Structure 1
Amino acid sequence: MGYLETREHQKPPSYLWGPSFMLLLVALAGLDLIPVPLLCAYLLTSLAAFLLYAFDKSAAVRGARRISERTLHLAGLCGGWPGALLAQRALHHKSQKRSFQLVFRFTVLVNSAAVALYAFGRWDG
Protein backbone atom coordinates (compact mmCIF):
# COMPACT_ATOMS: atom_id res chain seq x y z
CA MET A 1 0.00 0.00 0.00
CA GLY A 2 1.45 3.34 -1.08
CA TYR A 3 1.64 6.62 0.81
CA LEU A 4 -1.35 8.14 -0.98
CA GLU A 5 -3.54 5.11 -0.32
CA THR A 6 -2.62 5.11 3.37
CA ARG A 7 -3.22 8.84 3.65
CA GLU A 8 -6.60 8.55 1.89
CA HIS A 9 -7.80 5.96 4.40
CA GLN A 10 -7.01 8.30 7.28
CA LYS A 11 -9.38 11.04 6.10
CA PRO A 12 -12.81 10.98 7.74
CA PRO A 13 -15.69 10.59 5.27
CA SER A 14 -16.96 14.05 4.29
CA TYR A 15 -20.59 12.97 4.51
CA LEU A 16 -20.22 12.75 8.30
CA TRP A 17 -19.67 16.50 8.68
CA GLY A 18 -23.37 17.37 8.28
CA PRO A 19 -24.71 14.83 10.81
CA SER A 20 -21.87 15.69 13.20
CA PHE A 21 -22.77 19.38 12.99
CA MET A 22 -26.43 18.57 13.62
CA LEU A 23 -25.46 16.53 16.70
CA LEU A 24 -23.39 19.47 17.89
CA LEU A 25 -26.42 21.73 17.48
CA VAL A 26 -28.52 19.26 19.51
CA ALA A 27 -25.88 19.38 22.27
CA LEU A 28 -25.74 23.19 22.15
CA ALA A 29 -29.53 23.37 22.39
CA GLY A 30 -29.43 20.93 25.31
CA LEU A 31 -26.94 23.21 27.07
CA ASP A 32 -29.15 26.24 26.31
CA LEU A 33 -26.40 27.82 24.24
CA ILE A 34 -28.68 28.06 21.22
CA PRO A 35 -32.49 28.16 21.18
CA VAL A 36 -34.36 25.04 20.07
CA PRO A 37 -36.08 26.98 17.23
CA LEU A 38 -32.63 27.55 15.71
CA LEU A 39 -32.06 23.79 15.71
CA CYS A 40 -35.45 23.33 14.03
CA ALA A 41 -34.53 25.99 11.47
CA TYR A 42 -31.37 24.07 10.59
CA LEU A 43 -33.37 20.88 10.14
CA LEU A 44 -35.87 22.61 7.85
CA THR A 45 -33.27 24.48 5.81
CA SER A 46 -31.24 21.28 5.45
CA LEU A 47 -34.30 19.47 4.15
CA ALA A 48 -35.03 22.35 1.77
CA ALA A 49 -31.42 22.38 0.52
CA PHE A 50 -31.48 18.63 -0.05
CA LEU A 51 -34.68 19.02 -2.07
CA LEU A 52 -33.18 21.89 -4.10
CA TYR A 53 -30.18 19.74 -4.98
CA ALA A 54 -32.43 16.80 -5.87
CA PHE A 55 -34.57 19.02 -8.10
CA ASP A 56 -31.47 20.47 -9.77
CA LYS A 57 -29.99 17.01 -10.34
CA SER A 58 -33.27 15.86 -11.88
CA ALA A 59 -33.38 18.94 -14.11
CA ALA A 60 -29.78 18.35 -15.18
CA VAL A 61 -30.57 14.77 -16.18
CA ARG A 62 -33.68 15.85 -18.12
CA GLY A 63 -32.00 18.87 -19.70
CA ALA A 64 -34.59 21.16 -18.10
CA ARG A 65 -34.17 24.58 -16.49
CA ARG A 66 -31.68 24.39 -13.61
CA ILE A 67 -31.49 26.00 -10.19
CA SER A 68 -28.73 28.60 -10.12
CA GLU A 69 -25.55 27.91 -8.19
CA ARG A 70 -26.15 31.16 -6.34
CA THR A 71 -29.44 29.76 -4.99
CA LEU A 72 -27.77 26.51 -3.96
CA HIS A 73 -25.03 28.44 -2.16
CA LEU A 74 -27.56 30.71 -0.48
CA ALA A 75 -29.43 27.66 0.83
CA GLY A 76 -26.20 26.37 2.34
CA LEU A 77 -25.23 29.74 3.78
CA CYS A 78 -28.62 30.10 5.46
CA GLY A 79 -28.09 26.88 7.41
CA GLY A 80 -28.96 24.21 4.90
CA TRP A 81 -25.38 23.10 4.29
CA PRO A 82 -25.74 19.79 6.18
CA GLY A 83 -28.57 18.78 3.84
CA ALA A 84 -26.70 20.18 0.84
CA LEU A 85 -23.62 18.15 1.73
CA LEU A 86 -25.71 15.03 2.14
CA ALA A 87 -27.33 15.66 -1.25
CA GLN A 88 -23.96 16.21 -2.90
CA ARG A 89 -22.75 12.84 -1.65
CA ALA A 90 -25.98 10.85 -2.03
CA LEU A 91 -26.96 12.25 -5.44
CA HIS A 92 -23.41 12.75 -6.76
CA HIS A 93 -24.37 16.30 -7.68
CA LYS A 94 -22.04 19.31 -7.62
CA SER A 95 -19.48 17.24 -5.72
CA GLN A 96 -16.72 17.31 -8.35
CA LYS A 97 -16.92 20.89 -9.63
CA ARG A 98 -13.97 22.57 -7.93
CA SER A 99 -15.20 26.16 -8.24
CA PHE A 100 -18.55 25.21 -6.73
CA GLN A 101 -16.89 23.28 -3.90
CA LEU A 102 -14.62 26.20 -3.05
CA VAL A 103 -17.56 28.57 -2.61
CA PHE A 104 -19.59 25.87 -0.85
CA ARG A 105 -16.83 25.28 1.71
CA PHE A 106 -16.60 29.02 2.30
CA THR A 107 -20.37 29.18 2.99
CA VAL A 108 -20.03 26.26 5.44
CA LEU A 109 -17.21 28.07 7.22
CA VAL A 110 -19.13 31.36 7.43
CA ASN A 111 -22.30 29.65 8.65
CA SER A 112 -20.46 27.57 11.24
CA ALA A 113 -18.55 30.62 12.48
CA ALA A 114 -21.84 32.51 12.88
CA VAL A 115 -23.28 29.71 15.00
CA ALA A 116 -20.11 29.56 17.10
CA LEU A 117 -20.18 33.32 17.66
CA TYR A 118 -23.84 33.16 18.60
CA ALA A 119 -23.44 30.20 20.95
CA PHE A 120 -20.21 31.14 22.64
CA GLY A 121 -20.27 34.89 22.24
CA ARG A 122 -23.20 35.12 24.63
CA TRP A 123 -21.89 32.51 27.04
CA ASP A 124 -21.71 33.95 30.56
CA GLY A 125 -19.43 31.43 32.13
Structure 2
Amino acid sequence: MELMPLIILLIINLYGIFLMGFDKSKAKKGQYRISERTLWIVAICGGAVGTTIGMNVFRHKTKHKAFQIGMPFLVGLQLVVLFLLFN
Protein backbone atom coordinates (compact mmCIF):
# COMPACT_ATOMS: atom_id res chain seq x y z
CA MET A 1 0.00 0.00 0.00
CA GLU A 2 1.33 3.38 -0.95
CA LEU A 3 1.63 5.96 1.81
CA MET A 4 1.19 9.17 -0.23
CA PRO A 5 -2.62 8.91 -0.71
CA LEU A 6 -3.05 8.42 3.04
CA ILE A 7 -0.86 11.43 3.79
CA ILE A 8 -2.93 13.53 1.38
CA LEU A 9 -6.15 12.37 3.06
CA LEU A 10 -4.70 13.20 6.47
CA ILE A 11 -3.85 16.73 5.30
CA ILE A 12 -7.31 17.25 3.78
CA ASN A 13 -8.97 16.07 6.99
CA LEU A 14 -6.79 18.28 9.18
CA TYR A 15 -7.74 21.17 6.90
CA GLY A 16 -11.43 20.28 7.38
CA ILE A 17 -11.02 20.45 11.17
CA PHE A 18 -9.17 23.76 10.85
CA LEU A 19 -11.84 25.28 8.59
CA MET A 20 -14.64 24.40 11.00
CA GLY A 21 -12.76 25.96 13.91
CA PHE A 22 -11.80 29.02 11.88
CA ASP A 23 -15.37 29.55 10.66
CA LYS A 24 -16.72 29.17 14.20
CA SER A 25 -14.23 31.78 15.40
CA LYS A 26 -15.28 34.15 12.62
CA ALA A 27 -18.96 33.57 13.47
CA LYS A 28 -18.42 34.46 17.13
CA LYS A 29 -16.69 37.70 16.12
CA GLY A 30 -19.34 38.59 13.53
CA GLN A 31 -16.73 38.63 10.78
CA TYR A 32 -16.71 37.43 7.18
CA ARG A 33 -17.37 33.69 7.09
CA ILE A 34 -16.22 30.69 5.12
CA SER A 35 -19.00 29.63 2.77
CA GLU A 36 -20.86 26.39 3.37
CA ARG A 37 -19.98 25.50 -0.20
CA THR A 38 -16.27 25.59 0.69
CA LEU A 39 -16.86 23.36 3.71
CA TRP A 40 -18.75 20.87 1.52
CA ILE A 41 -16.05 20.91 -1.17
CA VAL A 42 -13.38 20.03 1.40
CA ALA A 43 -15.60 17.26 2.78
CA ILE A 44 -16.38 15.84 -0.66
CA CYS A 45 -12.69 15.90 -1.65
CA GLY A 46 -11.91 13.40 1.10
CA GLY A 47 -12.16 15.54 4.23
CA ALA A 48 -15.52 14.34 5.54
CA VAL A 49 -14.03 12.72 8.64
CA GLY A 50 -12.10 15.86 9.58
CA THR A 51 -15.00 18.17 8.82
CA THR A 52 -17.30 16.02 10.96
CA ILE A 53 -14.77 15.99 13.80
CA GLY A 54 -14.51 19.78 13.50
CA MET A 55 -18.30 20.10 13.59
CA ASN A 56 -18.47 18.23 16.87
CA VAL A 57 -15.36 19.65 18.55
CA PHE A 58 -16.31 23.26 17.78
CA ARG A 59 -20.10 22.67 17.93
CA HIS A 60 -20.40 24.33 14.55
CA LYS A 61 -23.08 23.67 11.92
CA THR A 62 -24.52 20.97 14.18
CA LYS A 63 -28.07 22.35 13.90
CA HIS A 64 -28.07 22.40 10.10
CA LYS A 65 -29.93 19.34 8.77
CA ALA A 66 -27.76 19.16 5.66
CA PHE A 67 -24.66 18.88 7.83
CA GLN A 68 -26.30 16.58 10.41
CA ILE A 69 -27.26 14.07 7.74
CA GLY A 70 -24.84 14.77 4.90
CA MET A 71 -21.54 14.65 6.77
CA PRO A 72 -22.09 11.24 8.42
CA PHE A 73 -23.29 9.93 5.04
CA LEU A 74 -20.12 11.23 3.35
CA VAL A 75 -17.96 9.72 6.10
CA GLY A 76 -19.57 6.32 5.52
CA LEU A 77 -19.24 6.63 1.76
CA GLN A 78 -15.59 7.66 1.95
CA LEU A 79 -14.77 4.83 4.37
CA VAL A 80 -16.35 2.30 1.99
CA VAL A 81 -14.37 3.74 -0.94
CA LEU A 82 -11.13 3.60 1.09
CA PHE A 83 -11.83 0.02 2.08
CA LEU A 84 -12.45 -0.97 -1.53
CA LEU A 85 -9.35 0.85 -2.79
CA PHE A 86 -6.93 -0.49 -0.20
CA ASN A 87 -8.16 -4.09 0.09
Aligned residues: 87
Q: What is residue 35 of structure 2 aligned with on the other side?
A: 68
Q: Separation in 2 of the partners of 1:48 and 1:88?
A: 13
Aligned match for 2:26, one of 59, 71, 75: 59
Instruction: Check the 8 A contact 1:78/1:111 in 2, yes or no.
Output: no
| Structure 1: tracts of 5 or more residues without a match | 1-31, 121-125
Aligned to 2:82: 115
Cα distance in 2 for residues equivalent to 1:108 and 1:86: 10
How far apart are residue 36 of structure 1 and its match? Answer: 0.7
Residue 76 of structure 1 aligns with an amino acid whose one-letter code is: A
**Structure 1 length-normalised TM:** 0.61
Whole-angstrom distance in 1 between the partners of 2:37 and 2:77: 15
> Which sections of structure 2, spanning at least 5 residues, go unmatched?
none
Pairing 1:1-125 to 2, within 5 Å after superposition: 32=1, 35-120=2-87
Identity across the alignment (%): 32
Compute the displacement of 1:107 (Å): 2.2
Aligned-pair CA distance for 1:37: 0.7
